[in-house]
Structure formats: structure tokens, C-alpha cells
Amino acid sequence: MSNKKLRNAVKEILEYDQRYSSDAYEFITRAVNYTCEKLNKAKNKNPKYHHVSGLELVEGVSEYAREQFGPMAYEVLRNWGIEDSLAIGNVVFNLVDQELLYTSEQDSIEDFRLDLDFQKILLDPFQAQGCVQKAKKPPIII
């Protein structure tokens, strides 16, 4: 899909749904491609098409966000309006409405209503590595 086609579609989406920034749509589009490519390689399938479940997509978006933004992944996505798996689904289905992504008849926004701690998913890998630390009390200077 061309950047111009995506920009035009996002412009139309933002006329009726301002919950998510234009950056969110561009990012989710790239994350869908990333997820499909990764799953296709893992399953040796045709790289042109791959159906992805809601959970697979949320996992792919999370992984892609961590790769792109490191420990700031949650803050970046939150700034764009993406704070949970349902937000990912809303962006996806807005892109589907614009015929930039496609679903099967069995797919539903409910597939993204997952009981996940999105912040934890994005931050935990970095906390385990010591990249994200809790604030310490500053020293008292007398």
C-alpha cells in the first residue's frame, strides 16, 4: 500500500474518529506487516497473505513496539491513544473500513477485548534487564 493511500485513508478516519493519532494508524499498519511476516516465516507460509488472530496481532504489535521504541514503547503508544488491546482492534477495524486491511467473516472487534496488562507487556522485558528503574529518593544536601 502506498503512503499516499494510507495518509488519505487516515485523513478520512480522523474525520469521524479522533481517538487515535495518525501516527497510530501508520504504526499499526507497519506492525501488522511485521506480525504477518514473522508468522509466515515461522510457519513457512505464503508471505502475501496470512490471517492473524486478535491475540497474535496484539503480541506482534507489542513486540514491534518494543523493538522500535525500547522502554518508551508504552509511553509512545499511549501518547497516540493506544493504551490497550481494544485500542489496537479499533485502529485495525478502522483500517478495515477503509479497505487497507482485511478480515475474515469470523473476525470481530471482540477478538481484541483481551484481559491483558498492556503496560506490563510492553515494560516487563526491559525491567528484567534493569532498563526501567523505580525512582529513588534524591539525596539530601545539607
Question: pLDDT per residue over 4-28, tens digit each?
Answer: 999 999 999 999 999 999 999 999 9
Sorted by where each begins, the domain ranges of the chain are 3-128
Length of the chain: 142
How confident is the model over 97-114, as a mean pLDDT? 92
Checking if the pLDDT of 87 tops 50, the result is: yes
> What pTM, to 2 d.p., does this model score?
0.82
Confidence at 131, pLDDT banded by 50, 70, 90: very low
